[in-house]
Amino acid sequence: MSALVDQNAEYVKVTIMKVDWDRYAKAPIRSELKVVRRSTLIAFKDGKEQTRVVAGVSASQLEGLFKAVL
């Protein structure tokens, strides 16, 4: 993900938050957001989910997350 940010200055505007699955696996937010797998990325804009990627880490998938919120 950091390589994509390095390649596109616009991506710096996106806030990225990492949640420790082991620590928060039973937290209410996990069920509220319907996160069923450890490797879930969710893009929000104005507090609303725009898109998500589950178990995917290709550059095109990650770019889709960034573009969804810009």
Residue whose pair of structure tokens reads 């725009």 in the numeric block: 50
Q: Which of 64, 24, 25, 13 has its CA nearest to residue 41?
A: 64
Question: What pLDDT is attached to residue 28?
Answer: 92
Supply the pLDDT for residue 36. Answer: 87
- Name 53's bridge partners: 41
pLDDT at 2: 85
pLDDT given at position 10: 93
Q: Tell me the per-residue pLDDT of 8-56, one tens digit each, with 9 for 90 and over.
A: 999 999 988 788 888 888 999 888 999 988 888 899 999 899 999 988 7
